[in-house]
Structure 1
């Protein structure tokens, strides 16, 4: 109904610099549109007990014992909640969704469950669940990442979905990635602890162990009857007995080679620069390769800054950079960038061993945004991140970020230095504040004191980000103003 482009990255605990599991996703609006976002905490009493989807008109009852959770919902009402990403009070996280692709064979064998409005005396027919609904229907009710897969899987099998999506679940030990298949089927794979995963709007899992999914479920899970359904509709295209879901359920369209695969290529190229040849006529992998790996072992441990960098990238250092001033100009802007003008937000959720979980939040175009850390185990969030409305205002994080991005893009050569300084300063101060409050939290006498410290920390971090944003906004505004067409060098001063 409303396909939303996004880019996802997942980092196993042994692949990260501090033993954290990390799940991260850009949430992007459709072409030509922008969606204001906010960061909130949802108390159990605020969670609905009877849910009605705005887009598909599906209605269902929810359990009576929801957990508190954070979310990044739409700030403007009208199209549903779109809670997007969050952490619940059991320290389990979810990000939903990555819109993915499929093929006609799959959609013909298990059609999407689409909403049908009333017509000629026929009553409306509700659709299935979608991105609008999933976090709200699942995150408040799970205590492990595996439970998240099972709850969402059961909902998909019962109610179906009207779109193809990928969803990540995370706790301090495991990350699971679930991909929907047609209207009711699904599969999920555990991210190997020593690997990271990149996902660019395509069905991504490239190897699946059906025996494990039907047995011990150590690293794979699947919908009831998936194997028989595949056999009935001749969906397995493998010649060697190893199921490649990307071949069976996904797509290799020409459009993928412009819109999707280049993003995976750039992220893999950045984090594994020496593992394969990524450039030139002898390249092992190119921006248009259909067999890019779903997961890889990185060449070194991955940091929060690495995740932010690749999910903000515009193909720096390649001929495809739309801001590039070198190489073949005809190649610039050839491929859809990761850090795009219509990024709504980026959430990097970091489940840190022995410490509180943190959500690193960026709003608006990631190429120009900063990443602000917020403690997740809170009952309220700072106004600067929570007070977004549809009205443009420099008094909140979303609109300040959006204004900085638009002005810096228009004055890129002059403003890029200001953006780099802004990003480095906020990241460094964010880490410093986390380090200080982590020590205070470790010494706090009880839960009430720890909660108060988290609120204090988030308020201080938000104030720091607000000041840095205001200062940067002035700098890029000055650069853009100096480049106006009615500028004239002579003055009376």
Structure 2
């Protein structure tokens, strides 16, 4: 029996500015943990404190001092903070985007020499203690790296960062060792719960950053299995059956989407970390990957393949997704409208990515609503989640209805964003924020209204599917 780790199991995508259709940088991720665990979406306003601040985790007791100036940022915290904040993703006022984390797993040899730290920094704290205090993606990597070195890490994780120029991916290899790689501007990367960074070039600090002692740590403890080079994935990562069936197929499908001419096996352990795509990638392409389930292959759980194939691999989009996001930083636009937090509440394949512009000062009440875990129609999470629950048992009958609503909303979002860009010319920061609030609220209300109407339609049309039904011959 194959053992799968019982932790969050996300899928991530990172795209450099020269690999996108409009010069944007893109980072995105599915937050996969529990099938019924509501999320909220909030804006933390810029704040300057008089007294020194401290963060203390409600999860593992991790604590550290914080700067007195906290920049504005968006975030998607849990419905409860009893197990930690888990703010997960957001864009700050300085034009930096962050998504944390992609859960990864280190091998026991490495952890034997540098164990994880019980009260070190973990996923639930990372966005909160990093994103409000950094002015570039590179600075964000440095800040998180310094925290890991000083306090230790309680988990192995991959963390995504971007600004308008650079995209970075940081991986925690052990309690205090980490490496980060800048995604080449004309490349993309898909990551799925496995150490991804390969050869580290210690002579190229433009594209690599690392913990100061990592080379000596590996060398002195003889942890490198290769005869030459420094392959982070080989040294710190795992290579077991869990990777083969749970992780690598998702990377395979992402690379299949963007490089269809490249032939690879879904279970290969040797797929490259980054690739140059055959065509340029849009934010919709990134969303399509994160909402995918092996469409067009025999491995699609909703497809026509045999049962063995349909259940062989873990899909990208699955029932345990709490929220999915794509963080876009557009070039040559003020951050208030050039930063877009695309957010799909619930299962991405059955939801819609609503565009929220960075300049917003608040979110709709349904998104920040303090819902309990149980279903509550006042919560945006449950508005979108409900549609997926209604579609699941009758996908053949209702799948097309869902797709039609999703496609219509995409067209409407694009129209709203285009109009916003046109109206933004010549506006000051305050006016841009007002425009961002209007456009984002309009998109969110449109999405919630459409999914509420769809949910009502699905309930009405589900009434005839009861097993207690009886179809009488009307000719009798």
Asked whether the equivalents of residues 85 and 124 of structure 2 are also in contact (C-alpha less than 8 Å), the reply is yes
Aligned to 1:470: 452
Distance 2:232 2:462 in 1: 48
Provide the rounded CA distance (Å) in 2 between the counterparts of 1:267 and 1:339: 12
The CA RMSD measured in Å over matched residues stands at 1.8
Question: What SS does structure 2 have at the residue aligned with 1:27?
Answer: strand
The one of 406, 409, 413 aligned to 2:389: 406
CA distance in 1, matches of 2:458, 2:260: 33
Match of 1:289 in 2: 268
Q: 2:56 aligns with which of 52, 56, 74?
A: 52
* In 2: Cα distance, 1:481 partner to 1:193 partner: 52
State the 1:207 CA deviation: 2.0
- Equivalent position to 2:86, from 73, 82, 88: 82
Partner of 2:184: 192
Question: What's the CA shift for 1:35?
Answer: 1.9
Does structure 1 residue 331 correspond to structure 2 residue 319?
A: no
1:417 aligned to which of 372, 386, 400: 400
Alignment of 1:187-336 (within 5 A): 187-212=179-204, 217-239=205-227, 241-274=228-261, 276-277=262-263, 285-325=264-304, 327-336=305-314
Assess if the C-alpha contact under 8 Å between 1:20 and 1:351 holds in 2: yes
Q: 1:384 touches 1:466 (CA, 8 Å); kept in 2?
A: no
1:435 alignment counterpart:
418
Q: Secondary structure at the match of 1:361?
A: strand
| Cα separation, 1, equivalents of 2:6 and 2:269 | 26
**Counterpart contact for 2:359–2:432, Cα < 8 Å:** no
CA distance 1:155–1:219, change in 2 (3 Å):
same
Residue 385 of structure 1 corresponds to which residue in structure 2?
367
Indicate how the Cα distance of structure 1 residues 192 and 259 shifts in structure 2: closer, same or farther if over 3 A, else same: same
CA deviation after TM superposition for structure 1 residue 443, in Å:
3.7
How far residue 386 of structure 1 moved from its aligned partner, in angstroms, is 2.0
Q: 1:450 to 1:491 in 2, by over 3 A?
A: farther
User: What are the residue-to-residue correspondences of 1:88-167 with 2, within 5 Å?
Assistant: 88-114=92-118, 127-167=119-159
TM-score (norm 2): 0.94
What residue is the counterpart of 2:462 in the other structure? 480
CA distance in 2, matches of 1:453, 1:2: 43
Where 2:69 maps in the other structure, the secondary structure is coil
Q: CA deviation at 1:411?
A: 0.8
Q: Quote the Cα distance in structure 2 between the aligned partners of 1:195 and 1:88.
A: 24
How far apart are 1:210 and its partner, in Å?
2.1
- Contact 1:177–1:189 under 8 Å retained in 2: yes
Displacement, 1:407? Answer: 1.2
Residues of 1 paired with 2:377 and 2:242: CA distance?
38
CA distance in 1, matches of 2:411, 2:386: 23
Moved more, 146-155 or 302-311: 302-311
Deviations 1:292-337 (A, max 9, x none): 1111111101111111111111111111111122x33321111111
CA contact (8 A) 1:408 1:480 kept: no
> Does 2:43 match 1:41?
yes
How many residue pairs align between the two structures?
463
State the Cα distance separating 1:164 from its structure 2 match. Answer: 0.2
Aligned to 1:14, the other structure's residue is in SS state: helix
**Separation in 1 of the partners of 2:202 and 2:226?**
13
C-alpha spacing 1:41/1:148, structure 2 compared with 1 (3 Å): same
How far apart are the structure 2 equivalents of 1:318 and 1:110?
41
What is the CA-CA distance between 1:152 and the residue it aligns to? 0.3
For residues 456-486 of structure 1, the C-alpha deviation after alignment (integer angstroms, 9 at most, x for no partner) is 1111111111111112212332343332212
Runs of 5+ unmatched residues, structure 1: 115-126, 278-284
In the aligned structure 2, how far is the partner of 1:7 from the partner of 1:270?
15
Are positions 1:22 and 2:26 aligned together?
Answer: yes
Once residues 223 and 387 of structure 2 are traced to their aligned partners in structure 1, the CA distance between those partners, rounded to angstroms, is 48
Q: 8, 11, 22: which is aligned to 1:4?
A: 8
**Would the aligned equivalents of 2:343 and 2:356 in 1 still touch at CA under 8 Å?**
yes
Question: Which has the higher mean CA deviation after the structures are superposed, 377-386 or 133-142?
Answer: 377-386
- 2:321 corresponds to: 343
Deviation at residue 388 of structure 1 after TM alignment: 5.0
Whether the 8 Å contact between 1:410 and 1:480 is mirrored in structure 2 is no
Taking structure 1 as the reference length, the TM-score comes to: 0.91
Deviation, structure 1 residue 211: 2.5
